[in-house]
Structure formats: C-alpha cells, structure tokens
Amino acid sequence: MAYDFRAIEPKWQKKWEEKGAFHVEAGAEGPKFYCLEMFPYPSGALHMGHLRNYSIGDLTARFLRMNGYNVMYPIGFDSFGMPAENAAIKMKTHPAVWTKKNIDHMIGQLKSMGCSYDWRRLVKTFEPDYYRWSQWFFLQMYKKGLAYRKHAPVNWCETCGTVLANEQVIGDGVCWRCETPVVKRGLDQWFLRITDYADELLEYLDKLPGWPERVLTMQRNWIGRSEGVRFDIEIAGTGLTIEAFTTRIDTIFGITFVALAAEHPVVEELASRSDGARRAEILGFAARMSQRSAIERTAAGGDKMGMDTGFKAINPANGELVPIWIADYILTDYGTGAIMGVPAHDQRDFDFVRKFGLGVIPVVRREGEPVPDPAEMTEAAVADGVSCNSGQFDGLPTPVAIERISAWFEEKGWGKRETQYRLRDWLISRQRYWGTPIPVVYCDRCGIVPVPEESLPVELPLDAVVPENGVNALLGRPDWINTTCPECGGQARRETDTMDTFICSSWYFFRYLSPGYDKAPFRSEDAKYWMPVDLYIGGIEHACLHLIYARFFTKMISDLGLVPPDMREPFTGLLTQGMVIKDGAKMSKSLGNVVDLDEIINKYGADTARLFILFASPPDRSLDWSDKGVEGANRFLNRVFRLVEGKADSLRRASRQHVPMGAIESAGARDLKRLIHSTIDRVTRDIRDERQFNTAVARMMELTNGLAAYKPADATDQAVFREGVESLLLCLSPFCPHIAEELWEMIGQSGTLSLSLWPKAEEDALDVDKVTVVLQINGKLREQFEMPPGLDRDELAKRVMELDQTKKRIEGKDVVKVIAVQDKLVNIVVKG
C-alpha cells in the first residue's frame, strides 16, 4: 500500500495555514534572510519551471527557518501584459477576468505544492494599490529628468502591436515574446535614463560575488563599455564638422577615409550642398540604406555597401584630406554615427577599402619588424605594437601612444576622452491597454503635464473592451482620454500608452515588505531591515532584462532616499535555475512534451514532485524530466513511510534521552550513529554551502537504507534508531514537508516539524574508528587494508610495509620511494 498523500498533504497545508506558521515580521528573533523567487505571470497554470523554481525556494526558506533565521518568503503575480489581452480576444472576456481566474487557480497550485509563503504579503501588479506606486516612481523620475519623452527610431513588433525596449529584442532581431522580426519606426516615446547608471551598473557587478559568472558576463556584454576619444573632423570648405569616436586614437595617422551612417544628419547637409544629380544620388543611397532592417544588414554577410559623397575631411592630426563616404556598416545609434576609417588596423575598414579601392596606411608595426607593405596586407593588423608613420609618436608602444595622443588631442582642444556604452535608455511606452497607465496628460497650452501625485492612481478603466484587431483598448475610450489639464484646467488628453510590464517587476520585492502601505511604495524601515534580497531564484533568461532593470530601479530608489544611500544592489545572491527538458527539448505545447503539474501532484503527491525535481539535477543545470525518475522518488518516499509506520509503536516507546556516542556499546548502533551524524553533516553542508540539493537527497537515501537494514537489540539500540528516524525526518522536511510532518506526528512528536530546529551533527559521532587504506604500486591501486585512523605517515608506511600482501607485491624489486597519505594510502615506487 502506498502512503496516502492525498489525505496527508491537504491536512498539513491546512494546519500550517490555520497556525499562520509562516507569517513573518521585521525585527523578529534571528538574523534576517530574504528568499525571493521570480514571481510568476498568471498564464493559467504553473509549469515545471515553476515547480523547480519554487521547490528550490521553499527548500531554502524552510531550511533557513529551521536554522533560526527570520525568513522573508513572499509570492505575488506579475499580472499585466500581452497574453491577457490575447486571451481576452480569443475567449471574448476581459483581461482582468482572465487574469484573476488564473491567479486563483495558481494560488491553489502553489498551496498544493506546500510552499511556505507568508500569504498576507501577496502582491498583484494589476491592482491599483500596486500600480499607483509604479506611477509614483515614474513621476519621481520625471522630476529628476530620468524619465523623458523623445522622438526616436524604435523597435516595433507587428504581432504585439507595440514598441519594445532593446533588451526585449533578442536573437537576430526578434521580439522576446513572440519571435516576430522587429522593425524600426520613428515615434515619440517615453524613455528612462538607465544609461545614467551604466557605469555603476557595470562597476557593481564586481561587488556581486553571490552571482553566477555567466550572468555577470552577460550583463557586462550587454552594458558594453569602451573607452576612447571623441573628436571633431572638419569638412573641407564647408565650415561643417563631424564628430567621431574611436578607441584607437593611436591609429589617427592611418585614416584614409571618413564614413557616415546613412541616417547621420550631416548627410542631408552635404546633399543640399551638392549639385542636382549628385544630391539625388546621395539622398537615394541614404534612404535605401536606412530602410534596411537589422536582419537584412547582418544577413549581407559582411559585404559592405558605400558611396563617396565627393566631400573631403581634414585629419586633425596631420591636416591630410581624405574622402567622406556613406557606409552601411556604420551604426547610427552607437558612438557618433561617424567613424574615422583606418583600414590598416580595423578589419571592417579594411574590407571596405578593398572593395572600393581606397588607400591603406599602416601606422602600427610589430616590435622589431619593419613597417608592412600595404599592398601585401591580407587583413587588418588589429594587435598592439609600436607606432610608425605617426610623426612625433613613432616608436611608442600602443598603450603609451593611446595615452599620449589622447592627451595631445585634449591639449589642442580637438577632442575629449570619453566612455561609450552599448546600453541604451529604456524605452517604456507600450501601445497596449493591459498595463500601468503612464501618469501624464498632454495639454495644448502647457504641453506635457505630469499628473499630480495626489491624483494617483491614474486608474485603468476596467470596462474597456479589447478590440478584435488588438489595438490599445484605451483608444476607444475618449471619455477616459479627454480630461482637464492639472495646470491650466483647460482641455487635455491622457497618455494612452501604458508602461512596459518590466517596470512592475522592477520593484515588487520592495512591496512585499510593506503590504497594503498607502503612504509610499513601502516603508523605509521595512526595506532597511529586509533588503537586500539574500537569495533570488529564477531563470537565466532574465539576465539582461529584469535583472538589469531591477538593479537600475534599486539604485534610483536609493537616490530618492527611500533606502539607505549604500543600499545600491537589490540581490546579493542569485541562483539561476536550469531549464526543465523533456526528450531533449524544452517543454512546450507545440512539441507536445509538456508534463502537467496537477497531474503529477494528483498521481504522486507534491512531496514526490518536489523530491524528484530537487534530486534529478543540481539546480543550475538543465534537468531532464523522467517519468521513471518520478516513480523512483515516489518509491523512496513510500519506503520511508513504510519504515516509520512499520516501527511506529516501538519508535513511540523508545527512549528520547539523548544517547552520546560514548554510551553506545553495540557495533551496529555505533555504525548507525555515525551514519546519522555524517548524514546530518553532509546534508547541512550540501544545502547551506554548496546548494547541491541532489547530493543532499542521496545522503538521505543512504541513511534510509541504513535504517532499513538496522536490527536494534536493546533499549539503547532503539533509542539510536529513534534518533536516526527523527534526524531523517528533520532533514527531509524542507524537501518533502508533508510526509515529514505526518511521520513526525506518527512517532509521537508534538509541535510542528516545520518550525523545529535543524539537527546538529555531533563531532564525536563523525569520528571513525577505522579507515580503508589503499596500497598503490607506482601509483596503481593494488590492495586495500583496514587501519586505525590518525596514524602518522611514517607509522602508516611502516605498518603497510610489514604486511604480507605488501611484501609479496614488492618481492625482488627495488623500492625507490614510499609515499604515505594519512588515513588514505601508501604508494610504493619500485624499479625492476
């Protein structure tokens, strides 16, 4: 008979809830620990990624709680966004109705998993009580100039009918959500000045030792800092100048052309100063180039397009005249949209001149080698070397040349040292209904007017109907759009764009700390106590999305003075869980390899589901779903259940007096006692230090095997057995809390296991009374012996050398050397 998880699991869930067992308050006893999971989007039902995420989180929260920590462990729903609108159209309902229904269902699922959240802190981002404060943050940023509106070429997703932030364009230029190729559109949009924090966002990555290297690298790449010189280039005979940026100012004497992006404003200027035919040619070329999408540009495979404008630029370093070209490989939104072309030392410039027959001037040579012949060069010489053809800078090693020439440019007033970032400001406008309204109105007289703080929230009308064609439902609500200007009282229109939902998720972890608070987004003293998050668990797909935005928000919040000035980072520990895979692919409806969580819980119980997912793989690696593996986990729990249930009577009767190692006579009981405490020791270290939950489970299985094979003879033996069962249940409880509670009760314990203290390994029970020592001959394993532990190396070597087996092994051979390792091995090096 399998154990009855269907009765046990709800029973304990109810008891925990009735007791408020997991309610938590700031300032309670013990060191604080904030354990946070990436809150789910209410898509309908939890999937296996959620099971994994929340099994890891709940395990951590429960483990630390048992270890005396005051653990903040909350949950919520990231409940604005596209899918709700799509569902509303498809099912002819309202996004709010669909979202609420899904949240209710998913709350039920989270409870059936046995997660130990403090449910009083539940946060739902679509509630006015929450998004009011997102709007408030927007206003604060507007005041500080961190939120601004500008006309810009932006990423547009046709399927989603909205613009996207750079971070939300993934792979080779597709929408992160629906994978539609993104196109550029010129629109007036709201941006957040995240680039103001680029430097700090980058620098502080070095102060996050609790983050995986992968994520740090991804963010470093994304922010993409480079140091160089920004300088002016004069266009001969026009009085115009072009700004350029370079990281290799040391190659300034090697310029053979200047190239402009097609969208560069000076292009039009040059066209207007050209004669008719020429003008049309330039404008036509520029228009053709700028119309091409990012995908088309890169798909060209590096084959560069360009056109000579006929104008000449003056190299500031030496006064030389070089042609000015328009080139498709110059990006309009990086640097200045114009470059100095140095084909000898930049591969792209090299490719360009080889195609269009422009010159090459080497200005860096390898140390000890002559200046290369440009005609013989087959590729650009990108590596550092020694300057040449560079006037007074000849002979300087590259880093020195960069330093000297930069200083020279600054001295002459030709340019300035500057740092460039790849990171762009965060475009937060969305042409969508189901989101947080941007609290701004447009007045014909006053222009852009922020909604006053005391008028917040700007509520999203819930009686809007999402139209079939999917456009923003707010556009069909003139009654909502038309309003009065807060400044002049005249007619004004509300902003109909809503905020990127990533705004909602950029600060929710602060809101958990002060649920329902209505004076501010959160109480500063709550944040001061609980923040930063000690462990944040979620998928790696947010490495350059949510995890950058939340860092930015935290810095902004700190600058607003809501948290102490030194609280600059939201998450000190980060655990990026791997994907859940089935049959070699990520679970997805289209592949038909989805395993339903409810079905698994119904068939095997939550404890089994949790145990399997924690056991099958270390948390940061991808995990192969295996139906057989689930059965294995279930088999183990049944085994534990039978073991305890079968001996329940004698366990209840057994002495609860602590039996120290020294008081145990029988060898069997001594061995079990050692097994118990080495298990406690290993499980504790695996969870706390290594986060290797899979090996922790393996240890518990070993202890179970040991307990099952154990034959207690007397009362002391029985007491040790009871100690073993208690220890097993304590260790098991963060993994499989329901069955552990049930068996805890069954052996006659009163009180809630989940609130009990974690067991402590007894030092003297970790000592062994014999060790296995191996004999190696020339490094190869030959024999094994039992030896008393702690023998010093000489003694160990001596004893092993005296053994018959050893003598036989080395008979007739010259012993060159004997190496002994305490408690481990003796290696005899022989000749002949």
By CB under 7 A, what part of segment 422-451 binds RNA?
Answer: 422
Among 14, 621, 652, 760, binds RNA (CB under 7 A): 621
Q: Are 249 and 230 in contact (CB under 8 A)?
A: no
Looking at residues 71 to 90 of the shown chain, list those that interact with RNA (rule: CB under 7 A): none
Residue 819 touching RNA (CB under 7 A): yes
Does residue 588 interact with RNA by CB under 7 A? Answer: no
Please give the residues from 729 up to 768 whose contact with RNA meets the rule CB under 7 A.
none
Which range in 353-361, 407-415, 565-573, 692-700 contacts RNA by CB under 7 A?
692-700
Paired strand residues for 399 = none
245 or 721: whose CB is closer to RNA?
245
776 part of the interface to RNA, by CB under 7 A:
yes
389 binds RNA (CB under 7 A): no
In whole angstroms, how large is the CA radius of gyration of the chain?
34
Starting at the earlier edge strand, list the strands of the sheet with 780-787. Answer: 780-787, 771-777, 825-831, 814-821
Question: Which of 218, 371, 803, 810 touches RNA by CB under 7 A?
Answer: 218
Q: Is the Cβ of residue 297 or residue 477 nearer to RNA in the bound state? A: 297
Q: Rule CB under 7 A: choose which of 455, 622, 650, 655 binds RNA.
A: 622
Q: How far is CA 808 from CA 16, 777, 785, 801, in A?
A: 66, 12, 15, 10
* 674 touches 776 (CB < 8 A): no
Q: Which of 144, 217, 757, 790 binds RNA (CB under 7 A)?
A: 217
User: How far is 453 from 530, CA to CA, in rounded Å?
Assistant: 27
Does residue 272 belong to the site contacting RNA (CB under 7 A)?
A: no
Residues 542-571 that bind RNA (CB under 7 A): 543-544
Should residue 101 be labelled a site residue for RNA when binding is judged by CB under 7 A? Answer: no
Regarding 5 and contact with RNA (CB under 7 A), the answer is: no
Residue 757 DSSP class:
P
Q: Which is nearer to RNA, 631 or 645 (CB)?
A: 631
Regarding 420 and contact with RNA (CB under 7 A), the answer is yes
What is the Cα–Cα distance from 425 to 440, expressed in whole angstroms?
A: 19
Nearer CB in complex with RNA: 113/548: 548
Question: Between residues 123 and 630, which has the closer beta carbon with respect to RNA?
Answer: 630
Amino acid letter, 285 = F
Q: Find the helix packing angle between 715-732 and 737-746, rounded to 10°.
A: 150
Select from 232, 702, 745, 795 the one that contacts RNA (CB under 7 A): 702
Q: Could you tell me the smallest distance in angstroms from the CB atom of residue 588 to RNA? A: 13
The residue range among 75-83, 367-375, 393-401, 628-636 that interacts with RNA, by the rule CB under 7 A, is: 628-636
Q: Nearest 5°: phi and psi at 447?
A: 80, -140
Tokens of 552: 């930015």
Q: Are 574 and 36 in contact (CB under 8 A)?
A: no
In the set 6, 14, 17, 221, which binds RNA (CB under 7 A)?
221
Query: Taking CB under 7 A as the criterion, which residues in 324-363 touch RNA?
Result: 328-332, 334-337, 339-340, 346, 348, 351
Residue 715 found at the interface with RNA (CB under 7 A): no
Cβ proximity to RNA: between 520 and 781 the closer is: 781
Q: Which is nearer to RNA, 6 or 214 (CB)?
A: 214
- Amino acid type, 293: S
**Subset of 196-215 contacting RNA (CB under 7 A):** 213-214
Q: How far apart are CA 527 and CA 339, in angstroms?
A: 47
Question: Please, what is the minimum distance in Å from the beta carbon of residue 456 to RNA?
Answer: 35
Q: Kindly give, in sequence order, each residue whose CB lies less than 8 Å from that of residue 161, ignoring residues fewer than 6 positions away.
A: 431, 432, 470, 471, 472
How many chain residues are in contact with RNA, going by CB under 7 A? 89
CA 740, 741, 743, 748 torsion-angle sign: positive
Residue 618 lies near RNA (rule: CB under 7 A): yes
Nearer of residues 308 and 702 to RNA, judged by Cβ: 702
Identify the DSSP state of 428: -
Site for RNA contains 778 (CB under 7 A): yes
Contacts with 529 (C-beta within 8 Å, 6 or more apart), sequence order: 26, 27, 32, 513
Of positions 280, 708, 715, 815, contacts RNA by CB under 7 A: 708
Other CB atoms within a 10 A radius of the CB of residue 378 amount to 6
Q: Which residue from 389, 695, 749, 752 is in contact with RNA, where contact means CB under 7 A? A: 695
Binding RNA (rule: CB under 7 A), the pick from 62, 111, 248, 568 is: 248
Residue 626, SS3 per DSSP? coil
Name the residue among 217, 188, 35 with its Cα closest to residue 116.
Answer: 35
Q: Does 688 bind RNA (CB under 7 A)?
A: no
Q: Does 226 bind RNA (CB under 7 A)?
A: yes
Options 177, 782, 799, 813; binder of RNA; rule CB under 7 A: 782
Cβ(451)–Cβ(439) under 8 Å? yes
State which residue, 122 or 648, has the beta carbon closest to RNA: 648
Q: How far is the CB of 359 from RNA (least distance, A)?
A: 17
d(CA 548, CA 738): 37
For β-strands 147-157 and 162-164, DSSP reports them as: antiparallel
* List 49, 76, 228, 316, residue binding RNA (CB under 7 A): 228
**Contacting residue, 180, 389, 398, 694, with RNA by CB under 7 A:** 694
Instruction: Calculate the alpha carbon distances from 655 to 100, 328, 704, 729 in Å.
Output: 52, 83, 20, 17
Q: Indicate whether 171 belongs to the interface with RNA (CB under 7 A).
A: yes
Task: Please report how close the Cβ of residue 742 comes to RNA at its closest, in angstroms.
Answer: 19
Segment lying near RNA (by CB under 7 A), choices 4-12, 75-83, 216-224, 789-797: 216-224
- Torsions phi, psi of 443, nearest 5? -115, 135
419 makes contact with RNA (CB under 7 A) = no
Question: Which residues inside 789-818 make contact with RNA, applying CB under 7 A?
Answer: 817
* Min CB(620)–RNA separation in Å: 8
DSSP symbols for 580-596: EEETTEE--TTTT-PPP
Task: Please state, in angstroms and rounded to a whole number, the distance separating the CA atoms of residues 167 and 185.
Answer: 17
Helices (H), 618-714: 627-646, 648-653, 667-685, 693-709
Which residues 630-649 are close enough to bind RNA by CB under 7 A?
A: 631-633, 635-636, 638-639
Distances (CA, A) of 425 to 81, 191, 348, 428: 21, 6, 27, 9
Q: Which stretch binds RNA (CB under 7 A): 130-138, 222-230, 279-287, 490-498?
A: 222-230
